Structure 1
Amino acid sequence: MSLFDKVKQGASEAARRAQLTVETTKLRSKISTREKEIDRISTRIGKAVFEAYTAGDLSQSEEQVLAYCQELAELRVEIEEIEETIKKLKEEKTCVCGKVVGADVNFCPDCGKRFIETPKSEDTTGEIRVICYHCKTENDINSKYCIQCGEELSSV
């Protein structure tokens, strides 16, 4: 592998990691927004229960509290889905014991449990990719034009 190919591969990997960081940050921001909404709904539950308490009939708040609890459950599901998306982006998985490990790990380093192997759809390990400066799409090393936007790929 020539020095130029190694530089291209390094630049491609750096661009991929930068994009991963951007995507992960956006997803974590979504989680933060959902968690703040959970706090607001929890406060509403407390207020509804207290108002019913001061009125002398806690059953008055039951319907309202149940609706709030349903919202909380939906938000928690959304957060779990976002966390799973982050793990997929970062090529990670979670053991039954809670330990987060790389997707290529066969056994948990904490509890020793064996992970069920899932076949990978595409293995690009070791491939050198060129990132289009215009649209940030990965292209084969020998590509002269971007497969996404048609821009000429630099031969610098």
Structure 2
Amino acid sequence: MSFLDKIKQGASDAAKKASQTVEITKIKSQISGKEKDQDKVYHQIGLSIYRSHQEGNVANSENEVMSCCQQLDELQSDIQMLEERIKMIRFEKTCTCGKVVALDTRFCPDCGTQLPQEPRPDSTVGEIRVICSKCQTENELNTKICYVCGSEFSGGSDAYTDQHGQ
């Protein structure tokens, strides 16, 4: 490999890393927003229970609390999907013991569990993505349901774009 080829390869690798960093930062921002939403729901649960306590019957808050708990379950599921997306971008996976390891790791360094082999996905600049028409999140091309809001993609109504928005 010539000197110029090495420089080109280094620049290409740096561009990929920068693109990954930007995408991870966007996802972490989404996670932060969902965590703030969780805090609001926790506050709502507390207010509901306290109002019922003041009325002398805490059981009155049960329906509202259950509704809030369902909202929390949905938010937590969204956060887990976003965290999995970050792992995919970083080429990582999680062992059953909870240790996060590189995607090509065959055995967990903490517990020794044999991990399933997962092919390392190719990430190419200019990759085509599907943009959700409801939440404007980028999704993989073959995605059927938005990983953030759960909206189903229909035929041609959602915008298709490459990573540069073209």
Residue type of the alignment partner of 2:126: T
In the other structure, the counterpart of 1:80 is 80
Q: How far has the Cα of 1:116 moved from its partner?
A: 1.2
CA RMSD across the alignment: 1.8
Opposite residue 24 of structure 1, the aligned amino acid is I
Among 127, 130, 137, the alignment partner of 2:126 is 137
- Residues 36, 22 of structure 1: CA spacing in aligned structure 2 closer, same or farther, 3 A cutoff? same
Identity of aligned residues (%): 45
TM-score by length of 2: 0.72
Alpha-carbon distance, 1:87 to partner = 0.2
Aligned length: 128
The residue number in structure 2 matching 1:96 is 96
Equivalent in the alignment of 2:135? none
How far apart in 1 are the matches of 2:79 and 2:120? 25
| Cα shift readout 1:41-63 (whole Å, capped 9, x = no counterpart) | 00110010010011011121111
Can you list the C-alpha shifts for 1:71-114, whole angstroms capped at 9, x where unaligned? 00000000000000000000000111111111011011111111
- The CA distance in 1 between the partners of 2:87 and 2:118, in whole Å, is 15
**Which residues of structure 2 form unaligned runs of 5+?**
128-161
Counterpart Cα distance in 1 of 2:93 and 2:118: 11
Q: Which residue of 2 aligns with 1:29?
A: 29
Which gives a bigger RCO, structure 1 or 2 (Cα 8 Å, sep 6+)?
A: 1
Q: Larger Cα Rg: Structure 1 or Structure 2?
A: 1
| 8 A contact 2:103–2:118 mirrored in 1 | no
Matches of 2:42 and 2:121 in 1, distance apart?
42
- Cα distance in 2 between the residues matched to 1:20 and 1:119: 18
Post-superposition Cα deviations, 1:120-139, rounded to whole Å, max 9, x if no partner, equal 565x8xxxx8xxxxxx638x
**Pair 17,121 (structure 1): closer, same or farther in 2 beyond 3 Å:** closer
Runs (4+) off by over 2 Å: 118-122
Structure 2 CA distance, aligned partners of 1:39 and 1:23?
25
Question: TM-score, normalising length from structure 1?
Answer: 0.77
